[in-house]
Amino acid sequence: MRHIRKIAFCLAALLAWTACQKEVKQPEEPKPVLHYVQVVSEIVEIPEKGTVEVLFSVKDAGFTFDLQRDVTIYPSSEAFTLQEVRPAGEFLYVAVLADKGGDDDYEQAVRLGVREKAGEEVFVFSSVFTVRLKRADPGVLIPETGLPTVYVNTEDGAPIVSKTDYLTATLGIRSVGGEYEMEDVSCQVRGRGNTTWGWPKKPYLIKLDKKESVLGMPKHKRWILLANFMDRTLMRNLVSMKVSSMTGLAWTPSCQPVELVLNGLHQGTYLLIEQVRVDKNRVNITEMSKEDNSGEALTGGYLLELDFHYDNEVQWRDTHGSCVQMEGGIPFGIKYPDPEDLTTTQETYIKNYVFHAAEALYGPDFTDPEKGYAHYLDVDSFVNYWLVFEVMGNHELANPGSVYMHKDRGGKLVAGPCWDFDWGVLSYRTSPHGKTGLINRNAIWYARLFEDPAFAEKVRNRFQELLPQLETIPGYMDELQERLSRSAKYNFRLWNPADDASMNGGHIINGDENMSFDQAVELLKENYRIRLTVMSEKL
């Protein structure tokens, strides 16, 4: 019996021990904890419209996370995105960042974060690193700006280094939506310009093998690509030609802003514009031959240029009265007929006509409609021409530079066309007195013209007639600002308008060269409004 009780006691003790053993929990293996995230690079550059790999590591090898859902960039960016994450080796991972292809440059300080626990918004972040855009070489980049793109390719890629020697080339045009596109056509190309040819961004002259309509403009062989290097607004010529067209001058050049790609390299924003030429689609006067040496045939047509550069092949200076504002007098040059076609008789005739016009203007009977200047000058054209220069604040009428007159067969001397309005236009740096007064009242022959009360009255009346149209120009500037804004960003990565100071005795020309595009446009609008106010008060 005692033996049985002993066995029972042992069994009970064994059962009790077993029960105790079930209640004791076995220690668990500790779960990996994310201690830190480390990005290898301090600066990361994303190629334009491309991707870049960002290498990062985590401390705990056993820590696991969803590569696509548990990694983030903080703060998020509108310029680039986290495209994917993938393993890159033991403890290492790669985060792929992708540029979204926007227009603006960026440089952003961010952190890379890894989620601590699935489903919870708790992240461990890396230290700060910088993400910035890496632009393609702007000389190679052919941007999409909304403007037509003009492609000029010289034979064998030869550089354009001369203003006199043409190179064989082709010209083609691509545009948004395909409007006015042009397949490659044969042409010749050379440099052009006076001061502007010496600047980094070069202007060019295109001569097509045959007359073509370009970007919807009337057919012709000759076209100019103006560089507008110093114009931070890229619109001074566009606005000036708009104002000119409002006045009813006989002809105003048509023009379109374009991107230029020369021999495969993007050159920035250019203005494709009709060259000043005698033609039925341009300066529409009678075309002369070498046989036109007498009678009515000798009276026209002629195209004259007044320019202080004094670089025409056939030229002279007028020295009448107070119009002698430059050493030796006002420089006249014959642009048409061409020098090789101009006869001595024709040259003598047009020189004498200008002489007699100036003699009548500065004579005692200058206001007489038969004996005075009105017998020689188309007065309405001289009124309209002066108004364009004055509204745009262009002092080049007084220099003079790129000032034109023309005379048709049997007709009087006509002012125009307008040309080359980028230098000092709507700038109170070059014409500070323009803020309070008139700029060109004493330009070339105008000092004497304004001595005639009838002429001054014509100017006042014509300005008031045009004023409602002129007041729409700031709205036109707004349209151009939107149209040119994307192109401007690429253009000014290539060229710095402030560099014109190094070519002008240390002085910048327009006064907005160091501004942003938008700031420069706002200043242009403000200066334009000032001109209208001053002219309303002073005329």
192-218 pLDDT, tens digit per residue, is 998 889 889 999 999 999 999 999 999
Kindly list the strands in the beta sheet with 51-58, ordered across the sheet, starting from the edge strand earlier in the chain.
37-39, 51-58, 92-99, 80-89
% residues pLDDT > 90 (the chain): 75
Per-residue model confidence (pLDDT) at position 26: 52
In which domain, by residue range, is 59 found? 37-134
Confidence of residue 240 (pLDDT cuts 50, 70, 90): very high
| Position 371 in a domain | no
Helix (H, G, I), strand (E, B) or coil at 464: helix
Confidence of residue 379 (pLDDT cuts 50, 70, 90): very high
Output 5 or 391, whichever has higher pLDDT: 391
| The pairing of beta strand 302-306 with beta strand 403-407 | antiparallel
The answer, yes or no, to whether residue 306 has pLDDT greater than 90, is yes
Per-residue model confidence (pLDDT) at position 187: 98
Confidence of residue 143 (pLDDT cuts 50, 70, 90): confident
Token couple for 498: 């402030």
| Position 153 in a domain | no
Contact predicate 126/111, CB 8 Å: yes
The answer, yes or no, to whether residue 24 has pLDDT greater than 60, is no
| Position 185 in a domain | no
The Cα 312–Cα 306 span in angstroms is 10
Question: Total domain count for the chain?
Answer: 1
Token couple for 483: 């149209």
The Cα 161–Cα 400 span in angstroms is 27
The Cα 47–Cα 44 span in angstroms is 10
Per-residue model confidence (pLDDT) at position 221: 98
How high does pLDDT run on average in the chain?
A: 91
The per-residue pLDDT for range 400-450, each reduced to its tens digit, is: 999 999 999 999 999 999 999 998 999 988 889 999 999 999 999 999 999
| Position 389 in a domain | no
The per-residue pLDDT for range 92-106, each reduced to its tens digit, is: 899 999 999 888 889
Q: For the domain that residue 121 is a member of, what is the CATH number?
A: 2.60.40.10
The Cα 323–Cα 328 span in angstroms is 11
| Position 56 in a domain | yes
Contact predicate 158/167, CB 8 Å: yes
Confidence of residue 301 (pLDDT cuts 50, 70, 90): very high
Strand partners, 258: 270
Q: 453-470 vs 379-391: helix axis angle to the nearest 10?
A: 50
> CB under 8 Å to 90, separation ≥6 — which residues?
61
Token couple for 23: 């209640």
The answer, yes or no, to whether residue 159 has pLDDT greater than 70, is yes
% residues pLDDT > 70 (the chain): 92
Per-residue model confidence (pLDDT) at position 538: 96
The Cα 35–Cα 32 span in angstroms is 9
Determine the average pLDDT of the residues in 186-190. Answer: 98
The per-residue pLDDT for range 468-518, each reduced to its tens digit, is: 999 999 999 999 999 999 999 999 999 999 887 766 777 788 999 999 999
The answer, yes or no, to whether residue 90 has pLDDT greater than 70, is yes
Show the CA angle centred on residue 505, arms to residues 503 and 508, nearest 5°: 70
| Position 95 in a domain | yes
Confidence of residue 31 (pLDDT cuts 50, 70, 90): low
Q: 236-247 vs 517-538: helix axis angle to the nearest 10?
A: 30
CA of 484: how far to CAs of 145, 332, 347, in Å? 8, 36, 44
Element (H, E) at 219: strand 217-226
Confidence of residue 139 (pLDDT cuts 50, 70, 90): confident
Per-residue model confidence (pLDDT) at position 7: 39
The per-residue pLDDT for range 280-295, each reduced to its tens digit, is: 999 999 999 999 999 9
- Burial string for 213-242 (b: 16+ CB within 10 Å, else e) reads ebbebeebbbbbbbbbbbbbbbbbbbbbbb
Per-residue model confidence (pLDDT) at position 28: 57
The answer, yes or no, to whether residue 10 has pLDDT greater than 90, is no
CA of 349: how far to CAs of 289, 296, 298, 378, in Å? 14, 12, 7, 18
Per-residue model confidence (pLDDT) at position 173: 97
Per-residue model confidence (pLDDT) at position 103: 80
The answer, yes or no, to whether residue 389 has pLDDT greater than 80, is yes
Per-residue model confidence (pLDDT) at position 307: 93
Helix (H, G, I), strand (E, B) or coil at 361: helix
The Cα 491–Cα 497 span in angstroms is 10
The answer, yes or no, to whether residue 62 has pLDDT greater than 90, is no
The per-residue pLDDT for range 242-289, each reduced to its tens digit, is: 999 999 999 999 999 999 999 999 999 999 999 999 999 999 999 999
Per-residue model confidence (pLDDT) at position 121: 86
| Position 404 in a domain | no
pTM score: 0.83
Output 16 or 483, whichever has higher pLDDT: 483
The answer, yes or no, to whether residue 462 has pLDDT greater than 70, is yes
| Position 87 in a domain | yes
